[in-house]
Structure 1
Amino acid sequence: MYNILITVAVITGITAVLALILTWANVRIADYGECKIVINNDKELVVEGGNTLLSSLIANEVFIPSACGGKGTCGYCKCKVDSGAGPVLATELTYLSDNDIKNNVRLSCQVKVKEDMNIQIPEDLFNVKQFKGAIEIAKDITPTIKFLRIKITDGQEIDFKAGQYVQLLAPPYGDSTEEVFRAYSIASSNFEKNFIDLIIGYVDGGILTTYVHKHLSEGDKVTFNGPYGDFYLQESEGDAVLVAVGTGMAPIRSILYEMLHKKIDRNTIFFFGARTKDDLFMLDEMKIFENELPRFKFIPCLSRPREEDNWQGHVGRVNDAIFKYLEGKDDTEAYLCGSAPMIDSTVNALIDKGILENNIFYDKFD
């Protein structure tokens, strides 16, 4: 028994000494003091060293896209670091291409600020803001998709291009112990400055989708930041082809509202894919667009219609409908939003119909 007590005491003593050493090291060795971050050779920030580049930027209201809370698992927070980043870490390699590494592109959530740094970010990110809001509308529009309207309550207004997205924050709840951001396309008109609409599908086990579908109610307060993204309606007089599946409706709806508000008169066709009739939504709005936009046509496509659906419309996927109904031209532009497989197959179909690849724009999500 005496020997056991001695052993325990020795182990405890060693542990205490190691803890003191680590504490001292953290204070002394890892005390990087103040560091300068120069952005785009113009804007200069003075930050406390030792934090990640991502968190240092966010603390100074420079919002880099990030959906994983800085864990290095989404790859969204890339930026060019010309100096001061140190060697590329193993945690970054999955998300960096050889070209990224050659051009000093890094994951800002994995890079620690230990010395003065020079970085490059898109100028548009200086327009990104953080907003406080309240849920004005929360309603199920299909068995698995919820519509949210978030009224901005902090006195700010949001300026965005139809097609862009925001990052919505889920605070700690239930078994989720950390804040998590996820990206969602804005579904409302970009002429509305005091609220945004989001269309969010439920993903089993998804932290933010579970928060939205099972915990959010009308009146609840939320935080989001944005806008982000380079997917938006181009200025053109050519025909427009819009393609979406499920929640990919969101940015297309925003684009249609922009066309309606600006009275854009382009030959426009919208292919929208769903599985069954229950998965279709906002059909009344599509009728309004057809009535108000002189050359707009909406074609819903069901890939798995049930007998009780009594479906008389197109049966098959959106790329099948493209082959059947579309006549492409050299100046036709296409705007796509959906999953990677849907985007890839649709791009091939559009090219086969004669649409130029550099006239195809898309927002691809996992």
Structure 2
Amino acid sequence: MSSSPEHPSDPGAGAFSVRLAGTDLRFTVGPGERILAAARRAGIWLPFECGWGSCGTCKATLVEGEVELLYPDAPAVEPRDARRRRILTCQTTPCSDLTLKVLRTGPTAERPTCDHRAELLDAQELGPDIRRFRFRLDTTSRYRPGQYAIVELGRGLRRCYSMTGPAGLDTVEFIAKRYPGRAGSTALFTLSPGDAVPVELPYGDMWLRPGERDIVLTAGGTGLSPILALLRELADTADTRRVHVFYGANTEEDLVCWDELQALVAGLPAARLHGALLKPSESWSGTVGLVTDALRVRLPELRGAEHYLAGPPVMVDAVLTLLREHNAPIDHIHYDRFG
């Protein structure tokens, strides 16, 4: 593949220098390259979490220089950022040499993020416009189940996909849905076996925390991907904590990997699976409605539980609202929302 702004073949051509105020650290950023990625590839670890412009963890103060924001609609961008000269290093590229002030530097044990070249091996049909994509990486993966990758599907076309399988292999799997008319979805679904794409992983803050609290895993749509990964980890380690899995979709056809969920739940000593469908068949025995309807009636017995949730923004926001209404501690809630 030809080089792109994310992976410049010659960062010295038209590149800019970035200095970190109060340190002797400097690195070079290629044309159109994101500051955070360039720093990481130079061995300098700036603060970050999501890599996507949602959390704001990577914000730095622009002491000197000019920059361009590559993703103006990034959720973490606030009006006061411009006044305070605060920038998202994960979504910003230099237009001149820069001086930045950051809160800290150093490797992050939870996110040993690195660049991979990923070759598509196969794509399995799971349901209507839903596929499981399996890629082979150029090196062994390092991540915690529940985290996600950023896949570059074209020039400036970056999308997040959670890993479904275990870490420590040279393959990764993602579950994704086709959305007609959306550039990222179209690009992913038109890949053929043998096609290769740049992948960065891992990102995110969702992984199993140790302890004795009950565990609640809630998924909507293809948010099932990280929930499957977490459930597999629980099964592989024979975790004895009480586990409740909630999974919602429109129809039974959309409720993909249901058999896998049932098998994993059956292998745990204290786990239950709850399904919710908006348009069920007459034989459906689970909740009729949203995944929040299934969760709501069981929350009183799940006080103090550790919650992990993933799915479309509307679904995740609805679950977060429900948990706040039931006074779930914020530090007991871990989530990802893409859409």
Shorter-chain TM-score tier: 0.7 to 0.9
Post-superposition offset of 1:33: 8.2
DSSP-derived class of the 2:300 partner: coil
DSSP-derived class of the 1:140 partner: strand
Q: 1:35 to 1:233 in 2, by over 3 A?
A: same
Distance in 1, matches of 2:197 and 2:296, equals: 43
Q: 1:260 to 1:99 in 2, by over 3 A?
A: farther
Q: Is the 8 A contact 1:135 1:150 kept in 2?
A: yes
Distance in 2, matches of 1:225 and 1:264, equals: 30
1:362 aligns with 2:335: yes
1:160 aligns with 2:136: no
Q: Which residue of 2 aligns with 1:105?
A: 86
Counterparts of residues 323-362 of structure 1 (less than 5 Å): 323-362=296-335
Which structure: larger Rg? 1
1:313 aligns with 2:286: yes
Q: Is the 8 A contact 2:111 2:202 kept in 1?
A: no
Q: Is the 8 A contact 2:35 2:94 kept in 1?
A: no
Say which is worse superposed, 92-101 or 193-202, in terms of deviation: 92-101
Q: Is the 8 A contact 1:136 1:151 kept in 2?
A: yes
Higher helix share: 1
Q: 1:91 to 1:360 in 2, by over 3 A?
A: closer
Counterpart code for 1:202: R
Distance in 2, matches of 1:33 and 1:202, equals: 37
Q: 1:52 to 1:351 in 2, by over 3 A?
A: same
Q: Which residue of 2 aligns with 1:226?
A: 201
Counterparts of residues 1-366 of structure 1 (less than 5 Å): 35-38=17-20, 41=23, 43-46=25-28, 51-52=31-32, 54=34, 57-58=37-38, 61=41, 79-86=59-66, 92=72, 96-98=77-79, 100-101=81-82, 104-108=85-89, 109-120=91-102, 123-124=107-108, 127-152=112-137, 154=138, 156-171=139-154, 178-190=155-167, 192-213=168-189, 215-306=190-281, 310-366=283-339
State the aligned residue count.
Answer: 316
Distance in 2, matches of 1:40 and 1:300, equals: 54
Q: 1:57 to 1:340 in 2, by over 3 A?
A: closer
DSSP-derived class of the 2:179 partner: coil
Counterpart code for 2:153: A
Counterpart code for 1:299: H
Distance in 2, matches of 1:251 and 1:164, equals: 7
Post-superposition offset of 1:245: 0.5
Q: What are the superposed Cα offsets for residues 110-133 of structure 1, whole Å, 9 maximum, x if unpaired?
A: 452423423437743983211112
DSSP-derived class of the 2:144 partner: coil
Q: Is the 8 A contact 1:328 1:354 kept in 2?
A: no
Percent identity over paired residues:
24
Counterpart code for 2:86: V
Counterpart code for 1:266: R
Q: 1:326 to 1:34 in 2, by over 3 A?
A: closer
State TM-score, norm by structure 2.
Answer: 0.80
Q: 1:110 to 1:90 in 2, by over 3 A?
A: closer
Distance in 2, matches of 1:189 and 1:82, equals: 39
Q: 1:363 to 1:43 in 2, by over 3 A?
A: same
Q: Is the 8 A contact 2:68 2:92 kept in 1?
A: no
DSSP-derived class of the 1:277 partner: coil
Counterpart code for 1:106: I
Q: Is the 8 A contact 2:67 2:94 kept in 1?
A: no
Post-superposition offset of 1:268: 0.6
State TM-score, norm by structure 1.
Answer: 0.75
Task: Calculate the aligned-residue CA RMSD, in Å.
Answer: 3.4
Counterpart code for 1:283: W
Q: 1:99 to 1:136 in 2, by over 3 A?
A: same
Distance in 2, matches of 1:201 and 1:225, equals: 20
Post-superposition offset of 1:354: 4.8
Counterpart code for 1:147: R
Unaligned runs of 5+ in 2: 1-12
Post-superposition offset of 1:52: 4.8
Unaligned runs of 5+ in 1: 1-30, 68-73, 172-177
DSSP-derived class of the 1:222 partner: strand
Counterpart code for 2:131: K
